[in-house]
Amino acid sequence: MNVISELFSPPYYAVIFTSIKNEDTHGYMEMAVKMEQLARSQEGYLGMDSAREKTGITVSYWSNLNAIKRWKTNAEHLIAQSKGKHFWYESYSVRIAKVEREYHHF
Amino acid sequence: MNVISELFSPPYYAVIFTSIKNEDTHGYMEMAVKMEQLARSQEGYLGMDSAREKTGITVSYWSNLNAIKRWKTNAEHLIAQSKGKHFWYESYSVRIAKVEREYHHF
């Protein structure tokens, strides 16, 4: 991505996904693109920022906790999460955080 | 970085810094290394994850809001912030968020 997310109106929620990929990530890129498109179509989805070196960080933004719960249990996303856990990621962390304040310089 | 931060004990705070750099970033890397070292020595600092493509994301973790406020107003950090705003970053966003839940797969 070459742009960063606009700001939203706090309070809203951020899911901070931090990961290290395995060497063999066959099928990963196609799934990542598919999941990003699917996330965008979910109710309560606000936006997403992503960057990767060896460490990858994806932060997605959601209007409330229920939207995050629905997305976590979305059938296609469950498949992606399972493949991620068992094949693509050496390790990952997920943090769910309530955005209280924000500012920017655009 | 080739490792991701350990987990801490919610609630704690995340500062999500998302940025796009300018073409000319003379002096940036030296300052980034210096600021990371300085952040680690601050009271209330817990950890940091960082990744950059064109978009860069740095998430730092802090035990409370006062620690974030002290770090934001640290004299050396103020100089770095000013250089970032005026020279190194085309744009950036800062979000301050309370981490409520977390899980991992290590």
pLDDT of residue B28: 93
Mean pLDDT of B61-76: 97
What is the per-residue pLDDT for B1? 46
Q: Tokens representing A70?
A: 């629905």
The alpha carbon of residue A41 is apart from the nearest alpha carbon of chain B, in Å, by 23
The pLDDT tens digits for B10-44 are 999 999 999 999 988 899 999 999 999 999 999 99
Helix (H, G, I), strand (E, B) or coil at A24: coil
**Domains plus CATH for chain B?**
21-99 (3.30.70.100)
* Chain B residue closest in CA terms to A104: B93
pTM of the shown model: 0.93
- What residue of A is the nearest CA neighbor of B57? A51
Residue A85 Cα, gap to closest chain B Cα (Å): 7
Segments of chain A scoring below 70 in pLDDT? 1-2
